[in-house]
């Protein structure tokens, strides 16, 4: 199969999948459910292939058969994960999970230092310099301290001072959440724009170039007829169910 | 695509060295299985302690590597006796990082089948019991093995088919792999993620209600920033001068100020809270202080 | 200005030592039985108000713990659920709990049964109200949406870890006219809950709410220890601001020079500013 | 008044069609005009890459898959073209399984477009997984051992693009193109301790929470979603090319105006209903 044919089939497959998933926006249906399972299957199979091909084969299998026999221990330790499925010895999986969780938890001292020391350092802003800078620094401190005071739980917010700073803190938090709201909308819309861009600028040209092939015209005609027939069948069936449901109630 | 020949036990030197290596590997395997058997035999009351000790040992690596002083401590000219040993230990831990990384990467990769075996259980049951929609589970199995086999075949030259056929077979599986990956995997993943945009559109119209003053402040800020980030924002206030005082009234300048001062202060306040929370959480995991949860279940 | 050291320096030992001490000291004393104080966050009274409103309208309530499984967030959601159920049991109002994790489902059933019995009305517990729908994100969300519309739910509670499906629930809850109260440590979903729900419990408040209700010692001690930690951070920052401002005005006040170099070597050196 | 209230009950599927139409217009027109203003953090990212010294390499760490390709691929595209222009050597690798295949295909397309040579100008080191903190801190000590081989199994020592990289001393900058939170690991285990500049290219969802790291210098630049990529394109001389990113920026403008109108309309309908005493729900709380 030459390059352009593979490319055409890929674009048609992608368009079919895109429309199948978007059909869920109309109504949850079998078509969407079927393609969802295909995705889980493909993603799972691909994961096994890529992990073997790019990690386990070059970094474990080849060195082991090349002479470093001790790498077999990695397989033994790795197998401990799967004791999760044995009823009697499930606890052995907790040993390897515990090792990995401990491993991650042990990094907390370095992570706290490298992440929050520079944050504390850059929070030490001198209240000096040009007027706009002073305004910015004062705004920074008011918001930082008020927002932090909102998250104190071990003493009662009795005195008016604390109660009002905590209340102001919740107000200032709204500015931060507003920024996150705007950024999230921009991100999510970009993803849909990406799909629409594919449909309009890759699939539509593909359809236009395929339209002149006679075999394409025939198959698309047949596909259209099948789709209409299935649509009518479902509408009738649903109406019959609705009528029967009305009779029962 | 380079083809990788899977020639098991390819060995550089000597006729018997491959057998010797095989013996070594099998020997190590036996030791490993003995170790697992030993673990399985530990009586239930010691199991919790084993888990706690292993978790603690796991946590020791990075904490000691960071906390221990890396060069001997001197008071004036007098060196504290043990500190050279401690410094050597600390530097040893740092030098071990690459091999720790290797082992962590490989053992972590073995966990790849965990999610898969869970899926096999669910879909296997569906196919066996013919529960409604079992054909979906069948499709799961077919596509799972199809892309995996095609993935391996595109890299492996089937010598016994003769060089011409092998090359054609390899190219064919390469094409099928590309169709499956670019046609199906990419489009399904991208489209599923993009569904959220639709939920935002319908929620924007039917759910986002300004029911309180704080919701008004949040949505007002969101509106300004949404406009300021995209080209239309700059266009809306293009009539303002680029320099001087009024420049700061331009929409993208207001957005930028909101992001680098008020938003930055709020995010830092939240981040300090999260940082301390993460420190507390790591301590609770490392020292197995967790109660009444996943860690405490019946062993 | 000094640079960040690659390994621990004296300031790390002092500050992180204090943080670890606060957290462990409070956890261990809580586990030995000392009563630690956690204030009742305003969100909890809004929660009780929402339960009361639902009973007036005589419609069932929905409590959705999100996709959280048997982890810290999921278990804390169970503590809040128990509070809601105990409250609802007094007015014999049904509470429907759709779950996305089979393991948390079994825990939820036990917690619900226990909540009804402590209120003295074990017969009110209905097994079909605690339901495991599916583990798939959007399938679970559409299942919950079905419950919202079929049961014409009066109040909806969303407490747990949430992802993008928060939007779908909040929208449909709004369409059904339900009062919605949400609480989640998932910072990214809070803006949407704020926009769509009547009240939202934000970030660490979620842990405070469940600690207040469950009085679980590790959680209580950890929260109080973290408060001390935040105070320490604020103290360090304010101290730093003072010293840095002094440094800036040093040219006008020469005799500050000695103090400033002392302060730099003792403190500011460990907090490098680019 | 009841028009506003009736408007409230528009079927959501009509809204879906509307948004598709609103976005289709700019996407079909594909305007090539890039935005005029460039945010300082994008310019800082450009300056960092521009000033990477000769004997050093740039790490393009990708942790995204097909799900956020619309946001992360334009960032990868803009950065790679800049580095090919400046003949700065770089490697791409992926923490996401599917991302390993996707980033290679995207990179190969850009390599052919810029007439660069695989193995000499750049290399793709494939998929990495396992304990992230161990791998990042390990590659800082011994890059060749931890990263091992490229995605085709060729040892790094045989690839001129990366054979000279022994440890952190040869790393000129790290770029984190991501849809998950991996930045903390780079900051804690490589870039802050070894003082290597880190550029952050998140999906827009995560950008709001990064400004405190820009303020503290732990991040030396940021490309905020596709808008960051579009602005970066103007800096590398592609300000007039008809790129996907440019079309997306105009479609985003349309989308944001549409969303803001929906929110305003929805609230007007809600207020109208409330004033007309038709409570769409029970009494309010909180």
3-state SS, residue A123:
helix
Give me the pLDDT at residue B13, please: 52
- Residue D43, both tokens: 């310019």
Residue D72: the pLDDT is 96
Q: What is the SS3 string spanning chain C?
A: CCCCCCCCCHHHHHHHHHHHHHHHHHHHHHHCCCCCCCCCCHHHHHHHHHHHHHHHHCCCEEEEEECCCCCHHHHHHHHHHHHHHHHHHHCCCCEEEEECCHHHHHHHHHHHHHHHHHCCCHHHCCHHHEEECCCCHHHHHHHHHHHHHHHCCCEEEEEEECCCHHHHHHHHHHHHCCEEEEEECCHHHHHHHHHHCCEEEECHHHHHHHHHHHCCHHHHHHHHHHHHHHHHHHHHHHHHHHHHHHHHHHHHCCCHHHHHHHHHHHCHHHCCCC
D15 Ramachandran zone, left/alpha/beta (phi>0; psi -120 to 50): alpha
Question: Do A187 and A131 share a domain, yes or no?
Answer: yes
User: Does D206 contact chain B (CB < 8 Å)?
Assistant: no
**Distance between CA C126 and CA C92 in Å, rounded?**
12
Tokens found for residue C206: 């979620």
**Tokens 């009528």 identify what position?**
A243
pLDDT at C203: 87
Q: ipTM of this model?
A: 0.89
Q: Helix, strand, or coil here: B238?
A: coil
Q: What is the mean pLDDT of residues B13-40?
A: 85
Q: Is residue D195 within 8 angstroms of chain C, CB to CB?
A: yes
Q: What radius of gyration, in Å, describes the C-alpha atoms of chain B?
A: 30
Q: Which residues of C touch D192 (CB under 8 A)?
A: 4
Region(s) of chain C under CATH 3.40.50: 42-214
Q: Using CA atoms, how far apart are residues A187 and D68, in angstroms rounded to an integer?
A: 9
Burial label, B87 (beta-carbon count in 10 A; 0-12, 13-18, 19+): middle
Check pLDDT > 70 for residue B1. no
**Is B111 near chain A, with CB under 8 Å?**
yes
How many domains in chain A? 4
- Strand ranges in chain D using DSSP code E only, listed in sequence order: 57-63, 90-94, 122-127, 171-178, 198-202, 221-222
Torsions phi, psi of B79, nearest 5? -90, 135
A179·B268 Cβ contact <8 A: no
Predicted confidence at residue D5, as pLDDT, reads: 65
- A61 and A5 part of one domain: yes
Name, in order, each residue with C-beta under 8 angstroms of A23's C-beta and a sequence gap of 6 or more: A29, A31, A32
Same domain, A147 and A78: no
Number of C-beta neighbours around residue D6 at 10 A = 11
Cβ–Cβ < 8 Å for B183, A13 = yes
Q: Tokens for D123? A: 């290399």
Query: d(Cα A151, Cα C227) in Å, to the nearest integer?
Result: 8
- For residues D48 and A211, give the distance between their C-alpha atoms in angstroms, rounded to a whole number: 49
Q: Return contacts of C242-249, CB within 8 angstroms, 24+ apart.
A: C243/A124, C243/C267, C243/C268, C244/A124, C244/A125, C244/A126, C244/C268, C244/C273, C245/A126, C245/A127, C245/A128, C247/A126, C248/A126, C248/A128, C249/A128
Phi–psi pair at C184, nearest 5 degrees: -155, 145
Q: What is the rounded distance in angstroms from the CA atom of residue D227 to the CA atom of residue D232?
A: 9
Shortest CA distance from C9: residue in chain A: A113
Mean pLDDT check: name the lowest of A37-41, B161-165, C162-166, D104-108.
B161-165
Residue D123 or residue B252, greater confidence: D123
- pLDDT, position D106: 94
| E strand intervals along B57-204 | 74-75, 78-79
Mean pLDDT, rounded, for A21-29: 84
Distance from CA of B278 to the nearest CA of C (A): 10
For residue B2, what are its two tokens? 């380079």
Q: Which of residues 61-90 of D touch B (CB under 8 A)?
A: 65-70
pLDDT tens digits along D46-101: 999 999 998 999 999 999 999 999 999 999 999 999 999 999 999 999 999 999 99
Q: Can you tell me which residue has the tokens 């080191």?
A: D125
- Output the 3-class SS for A7-44: HHHHHHHHHHHHHHHHHHHHCCCHHHHHHHHHHHHHHH
Which chain D residue shows the shortest CA-CA distance from B182? D102
**Of all helices (H) and strands (E), which one includes residue D183?**
helix D183-186
Size of interface A-B (CB pairs under 8 A): 385
Query: What is the CA angle A218-A221-A227, rounded to 5?
Result: 140
Instruction: Residue A85: list chain B partners with CB under 8 A.
Output: 117, 121
Q: Quote the minimal CA–CA distance from B154 to chain A in Å.
A: 11
- Asked whether D193 and D13 are in contact (CB, 8 A), the reply is no
Whole-number pLDDT of residue D1: 55
Collapse the DSSP code of B8 into the 3-class scheme (helix H, G, I; strand E, B; otherwise coil) and give the result. coil
Whole-angstrom distance, CA of residue C268 vs CA of residue C261: 9
What phi and psi values does residue D58 have, to the nearest 5 degrees? Answer: -115, 135
Q: Is D131 on the interface with A (CB under 8 A)?
A: yes
Domain ranges in chain B? Answer: 122-207, 211-286
Reported as a single tens digit per residue, the pLDDT across D19-32 is 999 999 999 988 88
pLDDT in tens, D160-177: 999 999 999 999 999 999
Domain range for A138: 127-210
What's the distance, Cα to Cα, between the start and end of chain C in Å? 8
pLDDT digits (tens, 9 = 90+) for B131-144: 888 889 999 999 99
Tell me the β-bridge partners of C199. Answer: C181
CA distance C161 to D204: 21
What is the spatial distance between Cα D192 and Cα D74, in angstroms, rounded to a whole number? Answer: 27
The confidence score (pLDDT) of residue C164 equals 82
Which residues have CB under 8 Å from C1's CB, separation 6+?
C272, C273, C274
Q: Which residues of chain C have pLDDT under 70?
A: 1-2, 274
The pLDDT assigned to D285 comes to 61
Cα–Cα distance for residue pair C142/B195, rounded to 1 Å: 13
Q: What is the pLDDT of residue C28?
A: 92
Interface contact D181, partner B, CB < 8 A: no
Q: Is the pLDDT of residue B38 over 70?
A: yes
Encode pLDDT of A34-89 as tens digits.
Answer: 898 899 899 999 999 999 999 999 999 999 988 888 899 999 999 998 888 888 88
The closest of C79, C81, C77, C87 to C55, measured between CA atoms, is C87
Enumerate the residues of chain D whose CB falls inside 8 A of the CB of residue C149.
none
Asked if D141's CB is within 8 angstroms of B97's CB, the reply is: yes
Chain A contact for B28, CB < 8 A?
Answer: yes
- Same structural domain, A132 and A198: yes
Segment A120-126 shows an average pLDDT of: 92
In this prediction, residue A1 carries a pLDDT of 58
Quick one: pLDDT at residue B4?
32
Interface of C with D in 2-61 (CB under 8 A): 3-4, 6, 46, 49-50, 53-54, 56-57
Pairing type for strands D171-178 and D57-63 reads parallel
Average pLDDT, chain B: 85
Calculate mean pLDDT across residues B20-32: 89
B235-287 pLDDT tens trace:
888 888 777 777 788 888 899 999 999 999 999 999 999 999 999 999 999 99
Kind and range of the H or E run holding B276:
helix B264-286
Is the pLDDT at B85 greater than 50, yes or no? yes
Backbone angles phi, psi at B87, to 5 degrees: -65, -40
Question: What is the mean predicted confidence (pLDDT) over A7-33?
Answer: 88
Q: How many CB atoms sit inside 10 A of residue D207's CB?
A: 27
| Spatial separation of the C-alpha atoms in residues A91 and A87, rounded to whole Å | 9
Q: How far is A206 from chain B (nearest CA, A)?
A: 14
User: Taking CB atoms and an 8 Å cutoff, what residues of chain A touch D148?
Assistant: 58-59
Distance CA A93, CA B51 (A): 10
pTM for the whole structure:
0.89
A contacts of D134 (beta carbons < 8 Å): 103
What pLDDT is stored for residue D112 in this prediction?
Answer: 94
Say if residue B36's pLDDT is above 50. Answer: yes
Cα–Cα nearest to B61, from A99, D141, D193 = A99
Question: A138: how many CB neighbours lie within 10 A of its CB?
Answer: 12
Q: Which fold has domain C42-214?
A: Rossmann fold (3.40.50)
User: What is the structure's pLDDT at D80?
Assistant: 96
Interface test with C, best of A29, A34, A121 (most C CBs within 10 A): A121
Cβ neighbours of residue D7 closer than 8 Å, sequence gap 6 or more: D265, D269
């Amino acid at each position: 199969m030459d390059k352009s044919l593979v490319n055409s089939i890929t674009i048609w497959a992608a368009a079919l999948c895109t429309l199948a998933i978007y059909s869920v926006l109309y109504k949850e249906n079998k078509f969407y459910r079927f393609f969802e399972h295909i995705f889980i299957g493909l993603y799972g199979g691909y994961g096994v292939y890529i992990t073997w091909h790019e990690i386990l084969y070059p970094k474990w299998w080849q060195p082991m058969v090349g002479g470093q026999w001790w790498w077999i221990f990695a397989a033994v330790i790795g197998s401990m994960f799967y004791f999760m499925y044995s009823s009697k010895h499930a606890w052995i999986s907790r040993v390897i999970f515990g090792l990995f969780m401990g491993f991650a938890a042990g990094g907390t001292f370095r992570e706290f230092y490298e992440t929050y020391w520079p944050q504390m350092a850059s929070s030490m802003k001198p209240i000096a310099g040009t007027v706009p800078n002073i305004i910015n620094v004062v705004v920074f401190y008011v918001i930082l301290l008020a927002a932090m005071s909102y998250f104190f739980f071990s003493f009662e917010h009795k005195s008016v001072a604390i109660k009002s700073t905590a209340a102001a803190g919740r107000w200032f938090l709204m500015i931060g959440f507003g920024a996150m709201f705007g950024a999230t909308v921009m991100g999510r819309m970009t993803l849909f724009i990406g799909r629409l861009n594919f449909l309009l600028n890759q699939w539509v040209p593909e359809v236009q170039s395929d339209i002149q092939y006679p075999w394409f015209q025939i198959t698309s005609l047949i596909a259209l007829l099948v789709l209409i027939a299935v649509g009518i069948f479902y509408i009738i069936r649903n109406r019959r169910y609705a009528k029967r449901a009305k009779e029962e109630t | 695509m380079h083809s990788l020949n899977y020639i098991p036990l390819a060995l550089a030197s000597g006729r018997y060295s491959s057998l010797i290596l095989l013996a070594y590997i099998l020997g190590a395997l036996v030791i490993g299985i003995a170790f697992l058997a030993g673990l399985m035999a530990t009586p239930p009351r010691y199991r919790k302690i084993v888990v706690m000790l292993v978790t603690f040992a796991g946590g020791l690596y990075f904490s000691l590597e960071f906390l221990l002083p890396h060069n001997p401590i001197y008071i004036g000219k007098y060196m504290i006796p043990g500190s050279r040993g401690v410094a050597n230990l600390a530097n040893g831990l740092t030098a071990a990082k690459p091999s720790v990384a290797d082992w962590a990467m490989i053992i972590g990769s073995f966990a790849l089948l965990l999610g898969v075996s869970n899926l096999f259980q669910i879909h296997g049951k569906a196919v066996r019991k013919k529960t409604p929609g079992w054909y979906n589970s069948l499709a799961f199995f077919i596509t799972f093995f199809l892309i995996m086999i095609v993935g391996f075949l595109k890299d492996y030259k089937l010598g016994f088919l003769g060089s011409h056929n092998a090359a054609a077979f390899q190219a064919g599986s390469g094409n099928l792999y590309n169709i499956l990956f670019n046609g199906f995997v990419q489009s399904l993943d991208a489209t599923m993620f993009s569904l959220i945009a639709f939920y935002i559109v319908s929620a924007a119209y039917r759910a986002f209600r300004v029911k309180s003053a704080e919701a008004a402040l949040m949505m007002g800020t969101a509106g300004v920033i949404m406009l300021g980030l995209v080209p239309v924002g700059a266009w809306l206030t293009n009539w303002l001068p680029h320099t001087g005082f009024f420049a700061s009234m331009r929409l993208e300048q207001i957005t930028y100020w909101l992001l680098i001062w008020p938003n930055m202060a709020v995010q830092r306040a939240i981040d300090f809270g999260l940082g301390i929370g993460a420190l507390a959480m790591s301590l609770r995991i490392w020292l197995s202080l967790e109660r009444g949860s996943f860690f405490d279940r019946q062993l | 200005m000094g640079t960040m050291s690659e390994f621990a320096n004296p300031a790390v030992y002092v500050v992180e030592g204090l943080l670890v001490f606060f957290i462990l000291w409070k956890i261990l004393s809580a586990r030995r039985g000392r009563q630690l104080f956690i204030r009742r966050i305003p969100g909890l009274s809004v929660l009780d108000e929402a339960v009361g409103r639902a009973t007036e309208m005589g419609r069932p309530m929905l409590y959705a713990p999100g996709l959280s499984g048997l982890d810290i967030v999921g278990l804390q959601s169970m503590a809040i659920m128990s509070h809601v159920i105990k409250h609802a049991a007094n007015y014999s109002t049904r509470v429907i709990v759709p779950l996305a994790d089979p393991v948390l489902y079994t825990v939820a059933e036990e917690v619900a049964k226990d909540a009804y019995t402590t209120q003295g009305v074990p017969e009110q517990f209905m097994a079909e109200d605690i339901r495991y729908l599916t583990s798939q994100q959007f399938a679970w969300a559409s299942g919950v949406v079905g419950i919202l519309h079929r049961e014409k739910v009066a109040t909806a509670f969303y407490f747990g870890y949430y992802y993008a499906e928060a939007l779908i629930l909040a929208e449909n809850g709004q369409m059904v006219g339900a009062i919605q109260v949400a609480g989640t440590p998932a910072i990214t979903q809070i803006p949407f809950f704020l926009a769509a729900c009547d009240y939202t419990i934000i970030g660490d408040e979620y842990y405070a709410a469940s600690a207040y209700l469950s009085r679980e010692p590790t959680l209580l001690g950890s929260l109080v220890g973290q408060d001390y930690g935040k105070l320490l951070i604020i103290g360090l920052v304010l101290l730093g601001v003072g010293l840095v401002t002094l440094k800036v005005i040093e040219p006008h006040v020469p005799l500050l020079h000695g103090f400033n170099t002392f302060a730099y070597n003792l403190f500011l050196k460990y907090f490098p500013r680019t | 008044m009841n028009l506003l209230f009736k408007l409230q009950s528009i079927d959501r599927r009509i809204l879906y069609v509307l948004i598709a139409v609103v976005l289709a217009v700019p996407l079909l027109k594909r305007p090539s005009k890039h935005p005029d203003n460039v945010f300082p953090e994008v310019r800082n990212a450009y300056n960092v890459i521009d000033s990477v010294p000769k004997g050093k390499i740039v790490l393009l760490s990708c942790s995204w898959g097909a799900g956020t390709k619309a946001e992360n691929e334009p960032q990868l595209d803009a950065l790679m073209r800049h580095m090919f222009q400046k003949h700065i050597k770089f490697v791409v690798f992926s923490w996401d399984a599917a991302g390993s295949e996707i980033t290679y295909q995207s990179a190969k397309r850009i390599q052919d477009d810029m007439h660069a040579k695989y193995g000499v100008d750049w290399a793709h080191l494939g998929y990495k997984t396992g304990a992230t903190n161990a791998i990042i801190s390990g590659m800082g000590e011994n890059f060749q051992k931890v990263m091992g081989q490229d995605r085709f199994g060729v040892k790094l020592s045989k690839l001129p693009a990366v054979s000279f990289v022994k440890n952190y001393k040869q790393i000129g900058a790290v770029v984190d193109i991501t849809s998950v939170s991996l930045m903390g690991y780079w900051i804690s285990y490589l870039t802050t301790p070894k003082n290597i500049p880190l550029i952050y290219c998140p999906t827009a969802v995560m950008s709001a929470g990064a400004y405190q790291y820009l303020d503290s210098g732990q991040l030396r630049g940021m490309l905020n979603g596709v808008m960051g990529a579009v602005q970066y394109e103007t800096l590398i001389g592609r300000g007039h090319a008809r790129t996907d990113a440019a079309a997306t920026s105009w479609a985003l403008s349309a989308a944001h105006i549409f969303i803001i109108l929906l929110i305003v309309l929805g609230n007007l309908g809600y207020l109208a209903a409330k004033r007309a005493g038709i409570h769409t729900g029970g009494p309010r709380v909180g």
